[in-house]
Amino acid sequence: MLIQRIAAWARLRSPWILHINTGACNSCDIEVLAALTPRFDVERFGILLKPSPRHADVIAITGPVTRQAAERIRRVYEQTPDPKFVIAIGSCAISGGVFQDCYGVIGGVDKVIPVDVYVPGCPPRPDAIIYGVVKLVEKVSKGG
């Protein structure tokens, strides 16, 4: 259908991102925010940070999943309209990182919701985060 092709084209040209912190130490968060600012400026690629899960195509998750946050990110994931993609940013979001055996931490994001792209680093540089989004776009354009 034409409308679906237009929607798919628009999604690839301008992915809208929801950023969630599930218990991160803030360093990945400030690097995600730094990616928006003049030095890196992801908006020139059409990537926008959106405050609501209802508007988002991509969920960028930073931090190890704490016991408190697990239920919340599951709910946010369900609120996001299909098709949706998840990027796990930072070592903690991948495996729990340095917090692996802390009692308040469940582990990586993929223990709770499915993840499409992993961006390693503690914290990853803004360049690496942008590269992660580009990889996601490539993956989606090849049909997931």
Partner 1 sequence: MSSIDLIVGPIHPALHEPERFVFKIDGEIVVDVEPRLGYVHRGIEKALSERTYIKDIYLVERVCGICNVAHTLTAAQAIEQAFGVEVPRRSKYLRTIVHELNRLHSHLLILGVVCELIGFDTLFMLFWRDREVIMDLIEMITGNRVMSAYNIIGGVRRNIGDFEVTQIKGVLSSLAKRVKQYKKVFMDDPTIRARCAGVGYLSRAKALALGAVGPTARGSGLELDVRVDEPYAAYDEVKYCAVIYNDGDVWARLMVRLDELLASMEVINECLDKMPSGPIRVPVPEAAPQSAEGVSVIEAPRGELIHHVYTKRDDDKPFRYRIRTPTYANIPAVCEMLKGCYIADIPAILASIDPCFSCTDRAALIDTNSGEKRIIDILSLARRSKK
Please pick, from the candidates 13, 37, 138, 139, the single residue that binds partner 1 as defined by CB under 8 A.
37
Please pick, from the candidates 122, 138, 139, 141, the single residue that binds partner 1 as defined by CB under 8 A.
122
CA distance 131 to 119: 9
The verdict on 137 binding partner 1 (CB under 8 A) reads no
CA distance 93 to 122: 10
Burial class of residue 44 (count of CB atoms within 10 Å of its CB; 0-12, 13-18, 19+): exposed
Nearest residue (CB) to partner 1, 67 versus 111: 67
Q: List residues bridging with 107 in a β-sheet.
A: 65
Torsion of CA 70, 36, 43, 77, to 10 degrees: 0
- Interaction pattern, residues 13-32, with partner 1; x per rule: CB under 8 A: ------xxxxxxxxxxxxxx
The verdict on 123 binding partner 1 (CB under 8 A) reads yes
Footprint on this chain of partner 1 (rule: CB under 8 A): 19-34, 37-39, 51-52, 63-64, 66-69, 72, 76, 97-99, 101-105, 122-123, 125
